[in-house]
Chains A and B, each alone.
Chain A
Amino acid sequence: MNADLISRLLVGVNHVTWQSLVMLAIAGLLFYLAIAKDYEPLLLLPIGAGCLLANLPLSPMLAEDGLLKVLYDMGITNEMFPLLIFVGIGALTDFGPLLENPKMVLVGAAGQFGIFGTLLLALALGFTKNESASIGIIGAIDGPTSIYVSGKLAPHMLGPITVAAYSYMSLVPIIMPPIMRLLTTKKERMIRMPYSQRTISRTTRILFPIVVTIIVGTLVPFATPLIGMLMLGNFMKESGAVERLTKASSGEIANAVTLFLGLAIGSTMVGVTFLKPSTLAILILGILAFTFDTAAGLMCGKLLKVISGGKFNPLIGAAGISAFPMAARVVQRVAQEDDFENFLLMHAMGANAAGQVASVVAGGVLLALMGAG
């Protein structure tokens, strides 16, 4: 055996770099979080797999016709995957609690402050305008919106932004309660809010997605793909006429696209481009965005408490983010720590549904302000 043959046989080993080894460890960490900790396993596991496959030496999967490259071009470059996921989310979301209590949209609006506050911090740290806006969108606490916006404004940062968005979404029950306890008094947390269920007619439920799409799409054309797909899913669900399509959108299609999306995002986490100080900064700014959102929601809740003469529990404000329905459940849990018979869940669900719509609107507004084409 000559040296040339040996070198050809060991070509893979020879191309192992310290960056690829670190990325394999990160893939392992994502697997651990997904399997052992159950943090968004449906997405973190495929992302980890994509990361692992992309960082193997001379990975053919990243070549021109490689599967990961094809998936990326097919669904991330043109934003198809996040939009298809949105159809599924729409088909799974019940906007009834929001229709019962429309004033909750204010809480949803306040919950988007993290986007703009983080954008400011990112600019101060020296990121470009488009990069800062992409980092800020982590504050939407909405995976598909983050992917959609950052894919348009800063595609080179898609990997860390997506990982941050989904990781922090899964950490809602850990990150939010301390902020909620810090910014509210026990007396405020114990405010009880009676809930009287109002029957929402089928006509109203069907009209809601159509009207919201027309209004938001007309006023913020950049948000049309996001709101359009979200509301399409909801429209199909509420119409009751296309049960098979609704089931497919929220089941098989969403599952298949989630797998493809995860692999494609994972493939962007190539060691040479991922292992930079900016990635660490993105992860830190992401958690700050989350904190700002929660704090702004709580402040809005306090304002509504004053306006309502002390009848509004400020904790509801923390549910004005897009992590549906996890944020609402956390609000209920924190409220019950001080008063076991305090039931805020349905109010919080209304705020949470508002957060879902508001994050899409905020994403569209951000794209419009940044002049994305």
Chain B
Amino acid sequence: MGNIAFGLNINLIGMSLVFGLLLLLWLVLFLIGKIDNLPFMKGGEKEAISEEAPAGSYSVSGRQADEIEPDLMTAITIAIAAHVSSRRRQAAPSMRMTVPGSQIFASRWLAAGRTRQTGGWTPKG
């Protein structure tokens, strides 16, 4: 019974502490978020960008990268995933003799099949 009372006590104090600490964290996060709205922060960010990117040129700074449209980001992610899976499906790069997609490219499976067709391992004649 003593143990249960101890457990209930720990439950009450523990959850209160966790909630209390995280509420404090919420307040801090809220205040940190406000930093971005300060006028000098906005000015500073703009200046930084204009210094990095002179008129007429284009460079992808950290801030610009953050502003990629969600749709574009999704498309890029899907394209990368498709590319990775296609690379995996093909033979390991170190084993390749030709660039994937070229006319003479063949997977290891296909290459093994061709080898068996053209040169049997039993001696001829």
Contact = CB atoms under 8 A, between A and B. Distances in A.
A124 B4 contact: yes
Contacts of B4: 120, 123-124
B66 to A, nearest CB: 6
A345 to B, nearest CB: 10
Contact of B10 (A201, A202, A203, A369): A369
Given A123-B6, A200-B36, A212 B18 contact: no
B18 A201 contact: no
A220 interface: yes
Given A116-B11, A119-B11, A120-B4, A109 B36 contact: no
A201 B35 contact: yes
A207 B28 CA distance: 11
A199 to B, nearest CB: 6
Nearest to B13: A369
A219 interface: yes
B34 to A, nearest CB: 9
Contacts of B105: none
Interface string B11-29: 1011101110111111011
Contacts of B7: 119-120, 123-124, 132
Contacts of A240: 62
Contact of B22 (A100, A115, A361): A361
B81 interface: no
Contacts of A198: 33, 36
* Chain B contact patch, size range: 20 to 34
Contacts of A124: 3-4, 7
B46 to A, nearest CB: 11
Contact of B17 (A203, A207, A354, A365): A365
B6 A201 contact: no
B22 A108 contact: yes
A102 B32 CA distance: 10
Interface in A166-213: 197-204, 207-208, 211-212
A98 interface: yes
Interface string A108-122: 110011011101100
A215 B15 CA distance: 18
A112 B16 CA distance: 11
- B interface: dominant SS: helix
A103 interface: yes
A275 B6 CA distance: 29
A105 B15 contact: no
Nearest to A201: B36
B22 A106 contact: yes
B8 interface: yes
A83 interface: no
A112 B15 contact: yes
B6 A216 contact: no
B67 interface: yes
Contact of A199 (B3, B11, B36): B36
B71 to A, nearest CB: 12
Interface in A73-128: 98-100, 102-103, 105-106, 108-109, 112-113, 115-117, 119-120, 123-124
12 contacts: A102-B25, A102-B26, A199-B66, A203-B36, A361-B21, A361-B22, A361-B25, A362-B18, A365-B18, A366-B14, A369-B13, A369-B17
The 6 closest A-B pairs by CB, nearest first: A102-B29, A120-B7, A123-B7, A109-B22, A116-B11, A123-B3
Interface of A: 98-100, 102-103, 105-106, 108-109, 112-113, 115-117, 119-120, 123-124, 129, 132-133, 197-204, 207-208, 211-212, 215-216, 219-220, 240, 354, 357-358, 361-362, 365-366, 369
Given A98-B29, A207-B35, A354-B22, 10 more contacts: A99-B33, A106-B23, A109-B23, A116-B14, A123-B3, A123-B7, A124-B7, A201-B35, A201-B45, A362-B18
